[in-house]
Amino acid sequence: MQKIICLYGRPAAGKNTQAKKLAKEFNMKIFGMGDALRAEIESGSELGQQIKSYVDEGTLVPDELMEQIIKNIKSDESTTGIIFDGFPRMLSQALMLEKIIKESKFDFVGYFLIKVSTETALHRITERGKLTNRPDDVDQEAVKNRLDAFDEQSVHLIKHYADLNKLIEIDGEKSIEEVYKQITKNIN
């Protein structure tokens, strides 16, 4: 049975870095909602244009648009499962994903919360913005909106996974290798 792992945390908590390492070691496919949203925007589609207005403002993309993206996720028999990088972000999305997991008969390993302070997140986003020049990393108002939205939306989601005994908290302030060890210890 293929596994599902969710990596969650503030913007720049290290989700993408850890997802890449896990995918390589465990032969898993990565589904990054942020990457999927950016790809849809770059495609120039009608859906992409709708998504772009939310991303440019630094506000959360509505569930109905997210659902259009996530419903296209398919199991790949050549891999051992899927790593969700930064998804779900809200309780409604978690319920949407749980439905897909049940229908596809995946084994849900856990919801890994990579915890970093607001200061660490701001520093990492600023540094990443210098390298990538992504509008959502450079515009300080958009960055602040993303962090505020995370803090506001994450409370119910974290409680939901804690109630299901599927929440695994990871200290994201540590080195990349130390964070990785914390995660893999909970996968095996």
d(C-alpha 81, C-alpha 2), whole Å: 4
What is the mean pLDDT for each group of 10 consecutive residues in the chain (188 residues)? 92 94 94 85 94 86 84 75 88 87 86 95 90 82 86 91 97 97 92
HEC letters along 138-166: HCHHHHHHHHHHHHHHHHHHHHHHHHCCC
d(C-alpha 105, C-alpha 187), whole Å: 18
Give me the residues paired with residue 32 across strands.
Answer: 85
Query: Domain holding 127: CATH number?
Result: 3.40.50.300
d(C-alpha 21, C-alpha 142), whole Å: 28
Residue 120 lies in a domain: yes
What's the pLDDT score for residue 185?
Answer: 95
What's the pLDDT score for residue 75?
Answer: 62
Residue 113 lies in a domain: yes
Residue 157 lies in a domain: yes
What's the pLDDT score for residue 133?
Answer: 83
Residue 188 lies in a domain: no
What's the pLDDT score for residue 165?
Answer: 96
Q: Are 2 and 75 in contact (CB under 8 A)?
A: yes
What's the pLDDT score for residue 21?
Answer: 97
What's the pLDDT score for residue 74?
Answer: 65
Residue 169 lies in a domain: yes
Q: Which domain does 106 fall in, by range?
A: 3-182
Residue 43 lies in a domain: yes
Q: How many domains are contained in the chain?
A: 1
What's the pLDDT score for residue 25?
Answer: 94
Q: Give the number of other Cβ atoms within 10 Å of residue 4's Cβ.
A: 23
Residue 187 lies in a domain: no
pTM: predicted TM-score of the whole model, two decimal places: 0.83
Residue 146 lies in a domain: yes
